[in-house]
Each structure stands twice: as C-alpha cells, then as structure tokens.
Amino acid sequence: MLRYLSPARAGPSSRPRSDDPQLSLHVPNYGVVFLPQPEVGDNKPRHDHMLHGELEVTLNAPKRAKSIRVGLRSKIKLDLGPGRRAEETILFERSVEIVSSTADGVWLAAGTQRFDYTIIMPSNLAPHDQHSNGIVYHDLYAEVEGLPSPEEWKAPRSQGSSSSLFGLRGKRSPSAANSKSVSRAASPNRKGGKSGASTPLTPGAQAHPAALSAALSNLASAAAALLAPTPPPRLDRAPSYDDSQRPKEAANGEWLQGTFKTKRSIMLIYNPNPGDGANELHDRASGYVPGLGVWELVLVSDVFTICALLQIKINLASLMPATTVFAVRVLLAQTHSITSPRDPDSQKLTGTKHFVILEQGKRPPAGHLHPDKHYIALWRGPLAGGKDKVDGESGGSVKIDTKARLPNDNVSRPSTLPGVVTPINVSHALVLEVFFSVWGEDDKGQAMKVPGPGGLRMLRVSRPVVLPSVR
C-alpha cells in the first residue's frame, strides 16, 4: 500500500551525460514518515524524529568532489485570493554535509558507493497537505558539488594591460596604443639602424614628434611593468598520507565540474493513537425532535482512517402518522483554515467541503418549501397521504443498517492534531441530516392556518471526529 501512496522516486532533473554522477536517495517505507502525536505543553520534552537513509552515487570514472550534501526542505505555496499575491515560503530546512579536511576534496571511486545520513526532524513539523488555495510539501534533496563549471568561469576579458599608471583596469593605455602605431612609422625601412630604434635627442636639435612619442611610450611601459604585482612562486605540495594510501588512478583523478542534484518527495503522517496502533471509531448519539420523534445514530469503524469502511446505523423509532421522511444522509464535513506564515495577524482563509457518505431517499429540490405527496419519500404516514404503517402508540419507524466508505486521500485530508505547527489547520465532523415534514405544520412546527403539506424541516447532528491519514 505504501508503494502506491509514496511520491515519485528520486531521479535526475535532466538527461545526464555518460560521465556525470548518478544520484539516488533511499529512505525507508517508500518515503512515508510516520510520526506520533506531538506532546502538548511547554514543560514536556520533545522527541524529534531521526530520518535515516542512504545516498547512492554511481560514477563511470574516479572523480573528486568538494562536498556532498543531503537535506530536507519543507515549503508552502499559498494563493491568498484577489488583492494579495501568491506566496511561497520555506517552513523548515536542515541538511548534513560531508566536506574533505584537505584540499584534495572528497574522493569518489568508480562504480557505486553509498553514504548514510541522518536528519533530525522536529516532532511538530507540518505534514504534507493540499487544498485548492494552499499546499505543503517536503523535498529530500542531495547535492554533489565539484569545481565551478567552465560556464561559471567565463567572464568578459579585459583588453590591453591589466594595470596602468592611472590605476585603471581593463582599459588599454593610450601610450601603449601610440607605441604600437609609432613603432611601425619610425622604421619604414631597415636602413640606418635597427628596426624600432628611437632617435636620440641632442641639445639644440628639434626632436621629431614620432620619436618623442615612441620614447614616452617606452617609459610608460617600463613604469607599468615596475608597478605590476609579482605573483609569488608556486610551490608543489608535499604528498600526504592519504596520497600514499590512495590507488594509483587517484593521482590522475579529475575534479567534477559543476554541481549535481537530485530530490524526492517525503510524506509526513501523524498517528493520534498514543500506542502507535490502529485507530478505531465507536460513536453513538441519540435525541428527540418534535415532529420526528426519537432518533439514534451509531458509527463504528475498526480501522478509522481516510478511505475507511464505516458501519452506519440510523433508527427513527417513533414517527407520527402525519410525518413524512424524504431523505436521510450522512456527510463528512472537512473544514480548513489557512494563515499566511509571513503575516500571522492577517485574516484567515477558511473553507468547508462536504462529502456524501450515505444517502437514502431524495431531498426535495431547492425552492420547494411545502413538498406534497407527489415527491418521493423514504417514509410517509397515513395522515400525510402515505401507506406506511404505524404501530399503535410507538408510531412508525425507519431503520438503516449499512456500510459506506469514506473519501480517499486524493480529495480529503487528515485532521490536524494538537501540537502540530502548520499554516493549514484541518478539522472534520460526521454529520447526520434528516429531511422531513409534518402535515398541517410549517417549518417551525407551528400549526398552519390552512392545513396542507407541511413545511420542509431538517434535523442536523454534527459529531466531531479526528480523521487520521492512511496507515
């Protein structure tokens, strides 16, 4: 069952190259994490959950990596309606990392190797949840970080000298540019001296403009060379003990280029049973309503969860001859309230869904306030134009004993347990509804001036329940 409920397994986000590492995350129970109900109260200790698992790394050739990281991230996405933008907030994030103690990095041999990890999860972390305007989800992710890829090293290259007399970087020195152009003009032929030689200046003689420019450019180049910092000589590192123990192919091992990632979804399920066993439901309610008489409701489920099989018993034991029962149904009412984690004082968004679990008979259409005998009824007494029998003073009766199934995890959500910290709170109730009327009485039970079909009434009984998730 867990295999079908679990999220998709981890996989690469894009098609990998043949020399890229293949990452795979393994967790118990197909990624479903079971948590007990959190302890309520400031003085009680918190028993945080230890999430254990394995990261599998597969390589075709030995490589080095800077670090290996595994983490858990919880997020919430909200649609807060008109006038407010959508929100995406990180509720929780924690990671563990393997970092090499030397500059050699983490050595990854060719083949498949596994790394164990343990992440401490808070005992009151928000469970996964989804509604029309909000979703909470958890991602378990892994990252293997190598050296920056060549794309990350790319940057606009500066032209000309990297430093100048005026402290400017990335620009060509005007004197250097003149020097290049003048050197060609000063030696149009190879006669009379070496190519590129400047004409000496003598007292009383007028200097040629080209020669003067060449002299100044040489002076500027010499000054720039003197001011440029000289890098220190690079010394080879002495071999370490790890180098001597490493296989020979490690010496020529290449670094991974870039960061490789994978992730998978994690489902958090809380169990309200203190004994960590299955949850049961045994609920009984009864009462008396004028015009309907005595009613009784019994709800039983040996394993009470979402999508559970529910046994329902309904007994209307003292129906009057003038009473008509049109329909009886049982609903699951699910109410959720959403609070923005960025603005806790803002107005909460609330909504309620009703799921019909059992329905016998048919409710009269909306707008028909005084349905007559032409409408289908589950039970109609003789004074209301029906043929159902009435047994003396005890009256008539309607008995229902059947089984029905609750909605599945795709449409309904588990109840939020006390102590769980989450922006989305969910509560449930099982609701009994009985639609009936009494001949000659309005919907408030008062006698009508002109006797006729009675006003439509409804008995509504709500029984709060804690609905656990599938276990």
| Residue 12, SS3 per DSSP | strand
pLDDT tens, residue by residue, 333-355:
999 999 999 888 888 889 999 99
pLDDT tens, residue by residue, 284-325:
999 999 999 999 999 999 999 999 999 999 999 999 999 999
What share of the chain has pLDDT > 90, as a percent?
Answer: 51
Mean pLDDT (whole number) for 364-370:
88
Interior/surface letters 311-335, b for 16+ CB within 10 angstroms, e for the rest: ebebbbebbbbbbbbbbbbbbbbbe
The pLDDT assigned to 133 comes to 87
Residue located via tokens 């790890």: 242
All domains of the chain, ordered by start, with CATH?
2-152+246-271 (2.60.40.640), 281-465 (2.60.40.640)
Largest CA distance in the chain: 147
165 vs 181, more confident: 181
The pLDDT assigned to 201 comes to 38
Q: Rounded to the nearest 10 degrees, how much is the dihedral formed by the CA atoms of 79, 82, 83, 87?
A: 10
Could you tell me how many helices (H) and strands (E) the chain has, helices first? 5, 22
The pLDDT assigned to 154 comes to 58
pLDDT tens, residue by residue, 76-108:
999 887 777 788 999 999 999 988 777 788 889
Name beta bridge partners: 118: 52
The pLDDT assigned to 453 comes to 92
Encoded tokens for 208: 């040629």
> Which 8-state DSSP code applies to residue 23?
E
Neighbouring residues of 40: CB distance < 8 A, sequence distance ≥ 6: 418, 419
| 36: Cα separation from own chain's centroid | 21
Give, in order, the Cα–Cα distances in Å from 109 to each of 10, 53, 411, 432: 22, 21, 47, 65
Q: Is the pLDDT of residue 256 over 60?
A: yes
Distance from C-alpha of 367 to C-alpha of 456, rounded to nearest angstrom = 10
Give, in order, the Cα–Cα distances in Å from 223 to each of 96, 161, 210, 392: 52, 12, 20, 123
